Copies of this chain bind each other. A is one copy, B any other.
Amino acid sequence: MTSSSARDSRAPAGVVSLTTDYGLADGFVAACHGVIARLAPALRIIDVTHLVPPGDVRRGGAVLAQTVPHLPLGVHVAVVDPGVGTSRRGVALDTPAGLLVGPDNGLLLDAAGALGGITGAVELTNPRWLAPRVSATFHGRDVFAPVAARLALGAPLAEAGPAVDPASLVRLPEPLVRRLPDGFVAEVLTVDGFGNVQLAARSELLDPLPARVRIDPVAGDPAAADSPAGVGGWEREAVHGRTFGDAPVGALVAHADSAGRVALSVNGGHAAALLAVVPGTLLRVRGSGVVGDAPGQYG
C-alpha cells in the first residue's frame, strides 16, 4: 500500500489523460488543460472523452478502463462526480502501469484493474498541491488537474496526502455475468456511437458457442441468473462472427470487440436501437438451432 516510496524515484510521466462528463460546449475542459499546462508546459494531454453522460459513473469507468491500456505511461484523470463538494474523498491510485486521479466513487477501479491493480492510494488533502481557492463545484480544475500535473512531473505520491486503504475505496456493483450450460447471461455495459452493444462478458464466453446464437432479455435478479427466466417480448438470432462484416447488411452479429468483450452489432445498422437495450439490460446469449421450433418457450 505504500508504493509511494517506489515512486519517489520514478521518471516524469509521458502524458496526462482526461475523462469527464463536462461536455464540450463550456470552457471546463480547457480550464483543466490550462491548469496542467501552467504547471507542466511540455506535457502532452490526451482527451479520452468529455461526453460521459452527466453523472454516469459506470459509463465513465468503462470507457476509461478500456482506453488506458492503449495510452502511454501517465497520469489518468477522470471526473464524473455527482458528489463534488460533498464529503466524498478525492484520491490518487498507483498501479504498475500508471496513476489514476479522481473522486472516490468507483470511477477509477476498473481502470486500476486494467493497469495491473492498485499498489498504493492516497487521499488528496495537501493544500499546497491544490488551487489556492478550491471551488465547491469544480474539483477537476482546482484539485484533480493540479494534482495530476504534479504527479506527471514526478512528485512523490505520498506528498499528495495520507495513504488510504484500497479496501476502503468505494466500489460499484460488479456488472452481472453468469455462465449457463448453453451460453451465458450478461449485463449490457456500454453502447458506443455506432450503436454497438458491449456486454460485460469476456469474449471467452462466446468462443465455444456455435455459428448462430439466439439472444433474449432476461429478468434482472442476479440470484436467479443460473436459471434465468426470460422476460419475453423478443428473441433474435445472430451470426456468431469475427466482425459485423461477417453478416449481410442489416443482420445482427455477436463478436469479440476490440476490448475483448462480447459485442452485438448490426452490419450497417444500430444494434442498440434494434434491440432496444440500454446499459444495465440483462441479455441471455445461447447456442441456436432450436429457434422458431418452440416460439413460446422463451416467454
Q: Which of chain B's residues has its CB closest to A51's CB?
A: B25
Q: Is the CB of B25 within 8 A of A72?
A: no
Q: Given A24-B24, A258-B135, are A41 and B44 neighbors across the interface (CB < 8 Å)? A: yes
Give the contact-size bracket for chain A: 35 or more
Residues A26 and B193 in contact, CB atoms below 8 Å apart: yes
Name A86's contact: one of B84, B135, B243 (CB within 8 Å).
B243
Residues 1-14 of A, flagged 1 when their CB comes within 8 A of B and 0 if not, give: 00000000000001
Q: Among residues 1 to 59 in chain A, which have CB atoms less than 8 Å away from a CB atom of chain B?
A: 14-15, 17, 19, 22-31, 33-35, 37-38, 41, 44, 46-52, 54-55
Query: Given B22, B193, B265, which contacts A25 in the complex, CB threshold below 8 Å?
Result: B193
Nearest CB on B from A102, distance (A): 15
A281 within 8 A of B: no
Which residues of chain B have C-beta atoms less than 8 A from A14's C-beta?
37, 41
Q: Please report A residues at the B interface, Cβ cutoff 8 Å.
A: 14-15, 17, 19, 22-31, 33-35, 37-38, 41, 44, 46-52, 54-55, 63-64, 66-67, 70-72, 82-86, 135-138, 141-142, 190, 192-194, 242-246, 255-258, 263, 265, 268
